[in-house]
Amino acid sequence: MGEEKKGFLVMGDQNPLKHVETKYNECETLFKTWLAKQSLPVDAAIVTVTSALQGAAIGGLMGLTNDVSSSFSPPPPSTSLNLQTKASFRQSQAVAGGPLAQARNFAVMSGVSAGISCVLRRLRGKEDVQSSLAAGFGSGVMFSLVSGMGGPNQASNAIASGVFFALVQGGVFKCSARCKDSTWTKTPHS
């Protein structure tokens, strides 16, 4: 007899996940089109904030998994240890801290990197290895300052972290560019 299912969206033969993916891609395209029409400060602010939120979410999840696994690790050093040992422990906690510390660190790294990349891409009109190096350096410096890694000489540690992050991010950029241009990633025509 005329049964009706309420609460279900009938999409014919289309896969529901494919439908969600299509709608997501449409929204993403509309958002990117809108964002391209905005001024540089608006574009940079939105890109920085959204990337920082994504980084915070990833860092929080990593911190949660680290939090669970740290219940099996030894307790922190006692107060009778020397200052160098305490500084080393603090540095390891900056990298392997709880969910909030990880969320903060990843938010800073991804937000600063995306913000610098966005500004340089708009100013220079291209995305290249120099922009990637600058974004990596900026995110490394900010990570070092925010995470508390640095010990007695934060300036030299911030610069060293910036150089390390720049080299890693520049290397990743070059490798991904090489993979995109490689013939083994292209599918042959049938």
Per-residue pLDDT for the chain (190 aa), expressed as one digit of tens each? Answer: 555 555 555 555 678 888 899 999 999 999 989 988 999 999 999 999 999 999 999 988 888 886 565 555 555 555 556 666 666 655 555 555 688 888 999 999 999 999 999 999 999 999 899 999 999 999 999 999 888 776 778 888 899 999 999 999 999 999 988 888 766 555 555 4
- Residue 183 is predicted with a pLDDT of 60
- Residue 152 is predicted with a pLDDT of 74
Determine contact, residues 55/107, Cβ cutoff 8 Å: yes
Domain extent, residue 161, equals 27-66+92-178
Burial profile 158-182: b = 16 or more Cβ within 10 angstroms, e = fewer: bebbbeebbeebbeebeeeeeeeee
CA–CA gap between residue 152 and residue 84 (Å, rounded): 10
In a domain, 189, yes or no: no
Q: pTM higher than 0.85 for the full model?
A: no
In a domain, 125, yes or no: yes
Determine contact, residues 169/135, Cβ cutoff 8 Å: yes
CA–CA gap between residue 150 and residue 170 (Å, rounded): 23
CA–CA gap between residue 84 and residue 86 (Å, rounded): 5
In a domain, 110, yes or no: yes
In a domain, 117, yes or no: yes
- Residue 135 is predicted with a pLDDT of 95
In a domain, 2, yes or no: no
Hey, what are 100's tokens?
Answer: 């909030």
Number of domains in the chain: 1
